[in-house]
Chains A and B, each alone.
Chain A
Amino acid sequence: MTDNLLFQRDVISMKDFKLNDVELIFKIAKKMKEKSFPDLLKNKIIASCFFEPSTRTRLSFESAALRLGGRVIGFDSGEGLSIQKGETLYDTMRVISGYADLIVIRHPREGSACLTAEVAPCPVINAGDGANQHPTQALTDLFTIQECHPNLNGLSIALVGDLKYGRTIHSFIEVCSLFDVRLYLVSPEILALPEAICDKLKKRGIRFSFHQTIEEVIPNIDILYMTRIQQERFSEAEYQLVKDQFILTPALLNNARAKLKVLHPLPRINEIAVEMDQTPYAHYFQQANNGVVVRQALLTLILNETLP
Chain B
Amino acid sequence: MNDTLPVSAIKNGTVIDHIPQGQALRIIHLLSLLKRKFKIMAGMNLPSKRLATKDLIKIENHIITEDEANEIVVFAPLATINVIEDFKVVKKISTRLPSVMKAVFICPNLACITHTEQIDSCFNISEEGKHIKLTCHYCEKIFHRDQVKVKI
Residues of A contacting B140 in the complex (Cβ-Cβ under 8 angstroms): 13, 15, 110-111, 132-133
| Contact present for B111 and A110 (CB under 8 Å) | yes
Most buried by B among A13, A88, A110, A133: A110
Chain A binding surface SS class: mixed
Residues of A contacting B8 in the complex (Cβ-Cβ under 8 angstroms): none
B114 at the interface (CB under 8 A from A): yes
Q: How far, in angstroms, from A89 to B118 measured CA to CA in the complex?
A: 10
Residues of A contacting B119 in the complex (Cβ-Cβ under 8 angstroms): 90, 115
Instruction: Given A111-B136, A130-B139, A133-B140, verify A90-B118 contact (CB < 8 Å).
Output: yes
A16 to chain B, nearest CB (A): 11
Residues of B contacting A131 in the complex (Cβ-Cβ under 8 angstroms): 111
A72 at the interface (CB under 8 A from B): no
Q: How far, in angstroms, from A130 to B107 measured CA to CA in the complex?
A: 15
Chain B binding surface SS class: loop
User: Nearest residue in B to A115 (C-beta to C-beta)?
Assistant: B113
Residues of B contacting A257 in the complex (Cβ-Cβ under 8 angstroms): none
Q: What is the interface size of chain B, counting residues whose CB is below 8 A from a CB of the partner?
A: 17
User: Nearest residue in B to A109 (C-beta to C-beta)?
Assistant: B113
| Contact present for A88 and B141 (CB under 8 Å) | no
Residues of A contacting B117 in the complex (Cβ-Cβ under 8 angstroms): 88-90, 115
Q: How far, in angstroms, from A196 to B112 measured CA to CA in the complex?
A: 17
B109 at the interface (CB under 8 A from A): yes
Q: Convert B114-130 into 0s and 1s, putting 1 for each residue whose CB lies closer than 8 angstroms to a CB of A.
A: 10111100000000100
Instruction: Given A89-B116, A89-B117, A115-B117, verify A109-B137 contact (CB < 8 Å).
Output: no
Q: How far, in angstroms, from A114 to B138 measured CA to CA in the complex?
A: 6
User: Nearest residue in A to B133 (C-beta to C-beta)?
Assistant: A196
Residues of B contacting A111 in the complex (Cβ-Cβ under 8 angstroms): 112-114, 136-140
Q: How far, in angstroms, from A248 to B113 measured CA to CA in the complex?
A: 36
Residues of B contacting A107 in the complex (Cβ-Cβ under 8 angstroms): 113
User: Nearest residue in B to A110 (C-beta to C-beta)?
Assistant: B139
| Contact present for B113 and A112 (CB under 8 Å) | yes
B110 to chain A, nearest CB (A): 10
B63 at the interface (CB under 8 A from A): no
Residues of A contacting B113 in the complex (Cβ-Cβ under 8 angstroms): 89, 107, 109-112, 114-115, 129
10 contacts between A and B (CB under 8 A): A88-B118, A89-B116, A90-B118, A108-B111, A110-B138, A111-B112, A112-B113, A115-B119, A115-B138, A133-B140
Kindly list 17 other residue pairs between chains A and B, CB separation below 8 angstroms, not including A111-B138, A112-B113.
A88-B116, A88-B117, A109-B112, A109-B113, A110-B112, A110-B139, A111-B114, A111-B140, A114-B113, A115-B117, A115-B138, A129-B139, A130-B139, A196-B141, A196-B142, A199-B128, A199-B142
Partner-B contacts on A (CB < 8 A): 13, 15, 88-90, 107-112, 114-115, 129-133, 196, 199
